[in-house]
Structure 1
Amino acid sequence: MSARIVVTDTSRRKPAPGAPSPGDEDGRGLLLVDALAHRWGSELVHGGKRVWAELRADGEQ
């Protein structure tokens, strides 16, 4: 079983995991997505971009 999560925004900048310092209060979102998702990606859409992630149940390949 899997689930796909999709988020859109108005920025056309390609998302990339950051390298936040321990005291930073932001910049960890894609690090969490990358650690938890089976796979993720982004695509430009009219008016911005769409970022998606696929999550799978334990034990699935």
Structure 2
Amino acid sequence: MVKAEGPQPETGMPRWVKTLLVIGGGLAVLIVVALLSGHGPGRHMSQPAVTAAAVSGT
């Protein structure tokens, strides 16, 4: 049997889509690990000022 020569039809996802999925998945994993280890965005926010009245209880 003779196979037809010529371009084969593309099947599956393009390479650039797979690459973006891998990069996006890696970033998602890094973000989850950072949030679970206590390095989230709240760590970089300023703390509310503590006044003397709040400390003394008056």
Q: Fold conserved (TM > 0.5)?
A: no
Higher strand share: 1
Higher helix share: 2
Question: What TM-score, normalized to structure 2?
Answer: 0.22
Which is greater in Rg? Answer: 2
Question: What TM-score, normalized to structure 1?
Answer: 0.22
**Which structure ranks higher in relative contact order (CA pairs < 8 Å, sequence separation ≥ 6)?**
1
